[in-house]
């Protein structure tokens, strides 16, 4: 039984922080940020908005688009986040309660690829008969864990959330492949400590987002290439079969490198990082919904997702779009 996406909803906070705003308190400029990343502005959650609140709004958007019925039969909730409200209770359990679902719920921590990791788990559980439908959410308030004195990271991140219902779709549609990977030897390159002071390799951890941008950049370009090609091959497709590429929205130069290796035109690539910056686990569902609303996705299109991030981790997936759902 194929499993695909049946419904989609997203949310970004109203408050906009532009590059010019950042240049008022950081030694940076719109010119530097634009040429090095492609980002022009990002959204910032209100003081009293956290991962749960953004996730809730994304699910409300999903329900507004698809109706209450979209949540019927959802018996699993997974929230991918790198900035949870609490160690426990988990965000997914709070969402289960908010929407009155009879469902299992857990959070998943896997860096920016967390939403694709969560999709893979949801698809696997539906295929195995462990769940009927799953609500898979990516929700981030990275601006709350940003070191606002560090210009090399503070300019990159934004807040947002995306939610999707995963469930059975007709033959010929649905997820055709997943590629997931991790390499903890690069863990120090992108970290934020919690209880421990150091990583196993002795690296003293920061209590805000720390990143060695150059190292992560090189890793990203490498895995975007290998993971996408592997996902296309596992799906039994060729590069030319991919209709739309929906990459993690971290840096336009990274997206461009992947686009070139895949031999795609810009019209086949979804880019919205200029508006939202890097929203981590939320970046792909937000980009996907924009593409859908912009009429860029048709029934039967083969879509390619890819992401990379803290762990270090990476993930890619190929989805044949079911137009009768979302």
Instruction: Reply yes or no on whether 112 is catalytic.
Output: yes
Which of 19, 82, 90, 248 is an active site residue? 248
By CB under 6 A, tell whether 268 contacts ligand UT7: no
By CB under 6 A, tell whether 28 contacts ligand UT7: yes
> Which of 214, 222 has the CB closer to ligand UT7?
214
Start-to-end CA span in the chain (Å): 18
> Which of 212, 233 has the CB closer to ligand UT7?
212
> Which of 99, 210 has the CB closer to ligand UT7?
210
> Alpha-carbon distance 170 to 202, whole Å?
51
Q: How far is the CB of 282 from ligand UT7 (least distance, A)?
A: 11
Instruction: Reply yes or no on whether 302 is catalytic.
Output: no
Instruction: Reply yes or no on whether 82 is catalytic.
Output: no
Give me the sign of the Cα torsion angle 35, 17, 29, 145. Answer: negative
* Phi-psi map region of 280: left, alpha, beta (phi>0 left; psi -120 to 50 alpha): left
Q: Secondary structure of the chain: what % helix, strand, coil (to 5)?
A: 40, 25, 35
- Site for ligand UT7, residues 31 to 90, rule: CB under 6 A: 32-33, 36-37
> Alpha-carbon distance 161 to 233, whole Å?
30
By CB under 6 A, tell whether 251 contacts ligand UT7: yes
- Site for ligand UT7, residues 88 to 127, rule: CB under 6 A: 112
Residue window 204-223: x/- pattern of binding to ligand UT7, with contact defined by CB under 6 A: -------x-xx-xx--x---
Let me know: does 117 contact 138? Beta carbons within 8 Å.
no
Alpha-helical segments (H) within the chain: 19-23, 30-37, 51-66, 91-98, 114-127, 151-154, 213-234, 252-262, 273-276, 283-293
> Alpha-carbon distance 196 to 85, whole Å?
19
Which of 19, 112, 191, 251 is an active site residue? 112
Calculated CA dihedral for residues 95, 68, 289, 86, nearest 10 degrees: 0
By CB under 6 A, tell whether 284 contacts ligand UT7: no
Identify the residue among 62, 134, 155, 262 touching ligand UT7 (CB under 6 A). Answer: 155
Q: Give the residues lining the site for ligand UT7 (CB under 6 A).
A: 28, 32-33, 36-37, 112, 151-152, 155, 211, 213-214, 216-217, 220, 250-251, 278, 309
Active site residues: 112, 248, 278
């Amino acid at each position: 039984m194929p499993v695909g996406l049946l419904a989609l909803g997203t949310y970004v906070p109203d408050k906009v922080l532009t590059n010019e705003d950042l240049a008022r308190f950081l030694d940076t400029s719109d010119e530097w940020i634009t040429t090095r990343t492609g980002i022009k502005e990002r959204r910032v959650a209100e003081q009293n908005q956290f991962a749960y609140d953004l996730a809730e709004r994304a699910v409300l958007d999903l329900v507004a688009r698809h109706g209450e019925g979209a949540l019927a039969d959802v018996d699993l909730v997974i929230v991918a986040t790198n900035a949870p409200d609490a160690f426990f209770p988990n965000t997914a359990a709070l969402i289960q309660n908010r929407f009155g679902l009879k469902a299992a719920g857990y959070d998943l921590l896997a860096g920016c690829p967390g939403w694709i990791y969560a999709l893979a788990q949801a698809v696997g559980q539906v295929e195995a008969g462990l769940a009927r439908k799953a609500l898979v959410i990516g929700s981030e308030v990275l601006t709350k864990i940003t070191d606002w004195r560090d210009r090399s990271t503070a300019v990159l991140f934004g807040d947002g959330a995306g939610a999707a219902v995963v469930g059975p779709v007709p033959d010929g549609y649905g997820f055709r492949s997943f590629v997931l990977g991790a390499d903890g030897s690069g863990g120090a390159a992108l970290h934020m400590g919690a209880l421990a002071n150091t990583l196993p390799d002795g690296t003293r951890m920061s209590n805000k987002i720390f990143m060695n941008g150059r190292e992560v950049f090189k890793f990203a370009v490498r895995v975007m290439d290998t993971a996408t090609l592997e996902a296309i091959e596992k799906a039994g497709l060729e590069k030319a079969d991919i209709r739309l590429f929906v990459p993690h929205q971290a840096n336009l130069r990274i997206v461009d490198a992947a686009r070139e290796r895949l031999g795609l035109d810009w019209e086949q690539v979804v880019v919205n990082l200029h508006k939202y910056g890097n929203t981590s686990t939320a970046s792909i569902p937000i980009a996907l919904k924009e593409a859908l609303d912009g009429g860029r996705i048709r029934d039967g299109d083969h879509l390619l997702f890819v992401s990379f991030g803290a762990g270090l981790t990476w993930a890619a997936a190929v989805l044949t779009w079911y137009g009768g759902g979302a």
